[in-house]
Structure 1
Amino acid sequence: MVVLKSITILTETYNQFIRITEKIEDAVRESGIQNGMVHVISKHTTTGIMVNESLECLESDIEDFLGRLAPEEGHYAHARMLRDYGSTAGNPTGHLKAHITGNHCHLIIQDGEVVKGGAQEVYFCEFDGPAKRTVLIQAAGE
Structure 2
Amino acid sequence: MVQLKQIKLLTTEYNQFILITEQVMGLVRESNIKNGMVHVITKHTTTGITVNESLECLESDIEEFLTRLVPEHLPYAHARMLPDYGSTAGNPTGHLKAHLTGNHCHFVISDGDVLKGDAQDIYFCEFDGPAQRTVLVQVIGE
TM bucket normalised to smaller: over 0.9
State how far apart, in whole Å, the 2-side matches of 1:49 and 1:64 are.
17
- What CA deviation, in whole Å up to 9, does each residue of 1:4-54 have, x standing for no partner? 101100000000000000000000000110011000000000000000000
Matched letter for residue 5 of structure 2:
K
Structure 2 portions without partners, runs of 5+:
none
Q: CA deviation at 1:113?
A: 1.3
Report 1:29-48 matches (<5 A): 29-48=29-48
- Match in the other structure for 2:20: 20
Aligned CA-pair RMSD: 0.4
Determine what percentage of the aligned residue pairs are the same residue: 75
State how far apart, in whole Å, the 2-side matches of 1:111 and 1:26 are.
15
Q: Find out whether 1:85 has 2:100 as its counterpart.
A: no
Moved over 3 A (4+): none
State how far apart, in whole Å, the 1-side matches of 2:31 and 2:57 are.
34
Q: CA deviation at 1:75?
A: 1.4
- Match in the other structure for 1:70: 70
State how far apart, in whole Å, the 2-side matches of 1:132 and 1:99 are.
20
State how far apart, in whole Å, the 2-side matches of 1:113 and 1:90 are.
41
State how far apart, in whole Å, the 2-side matches of 1:99 and 1:75 are.
18
- Match in the other structure for 2:2: 2
- Match in the other structure for 2:53: 53
- Match in the other structure for 1:94: 94
Q: CA deviation at 1:74?
A: 1.0
Q: Find out whether 1:112 has 2:112 as its counterpart.
A: yes
TM-score, length-scaled by structure 1? 0.99
State how far apart, in whole Å, the 2-side matches of 1:33 and 1:52 are.
25
